[in-house]
């Protein structure tokens, strides 16, 4: 007896989840979208089937009631989508500007370092570089002149405004 009641309850529950209803979707003359369980009397409607209480999405490419009618006021979803798109475009523009500013600042620091190195070498003191043992090897006068010429070339090529 208990098993029979359980099976009947299970059958009723299964039948209720399998039941489906048709929902009609259409746009009125003002462009507003409407949903109803009754088809409109004066407009062509698309049907959407609901199964188990969950809506089944209609394809986005499905035509609305009449594509030749001018679009009415935008829905809140369309406005929100446009706002999100504008926000994303603004964020991309801001990132691009920040990247350009960062590159310009990096280049300015690089050029300042080149000019400082050239000025140090032109002062005439002894300049050198450490060797593999960590000892300072001083530049000869010819090496200093060559290094100053290299710095002048780099400044002319990379730092001219």
Q: Give me the residue spans of the domains in the chain.
A: 2-73, 101-158
List the pLDDT tens digit at each of the 161 positions of the chain. Answer: 566 676 666 565 555 544 556 777 878 888 888 777 777 777 676 776 655 555 544 444 444 545 555 567 889 999 999 999 999 999 999 999 999 999 999 999 999 999 998 998 888 777 888 889 888 888 888 888 999 999 999 999 998 76
Number of H helices, E strands in the chain: 3, 6
Q: What is the pLDDT of residue 40?
A: 77
Q: What's the first-to-final CA gap in the chain, in angstroms?
A: 95
Residue 45 in contact with residue 26, Cβ under 8 Å?
yes
Q: What is the pLDDT of residue 71?
A: 64
Burial of 25 (0-12, 13-18, 19+ CB in 10 A): middle
Whole-model pTM: value is 0.45
Burial of 63 (0-12, 13-18, 19+ CB in 10 A): exposed
Q: What is the pLDDT of residue 98?
A: 95
Q: What is the pLDDT of residue 39?
A: 77
């Amino acid at each position: 007896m208990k098993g029979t009641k359980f099976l009947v309850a299970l059958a009723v529950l299964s039948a209720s989840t399998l039941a489906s209803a048709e929902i009609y979707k259409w746009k009125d003359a003002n462009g507003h979208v409407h949903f109803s369980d009754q088809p409109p009397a004066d407009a062509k409607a698309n049907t959407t089937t609901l199964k188990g209480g969950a809506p089944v999405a209609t394809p986005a490419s499905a035509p609305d009631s009449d594509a030749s009618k001018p679009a009415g006021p935008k829905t809140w979803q369309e406005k929100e989508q446009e706002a999100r798109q504008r926000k994303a475009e603004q964020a991309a523009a801001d990132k691009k500007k920040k990247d350009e500013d960062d590159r310009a600042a990096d280049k300015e620091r690089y050029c300042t370092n080149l000019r400082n190195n050239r000025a140090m070498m032109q002062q005439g003191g002894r300049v050198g570089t450490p060797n593999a043992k960590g000892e300072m090897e001083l530049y000869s006068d010819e090496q200093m002149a060559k290094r100053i010429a290299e710095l002048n070339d780099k400044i002319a090529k990379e730092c001219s405004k």
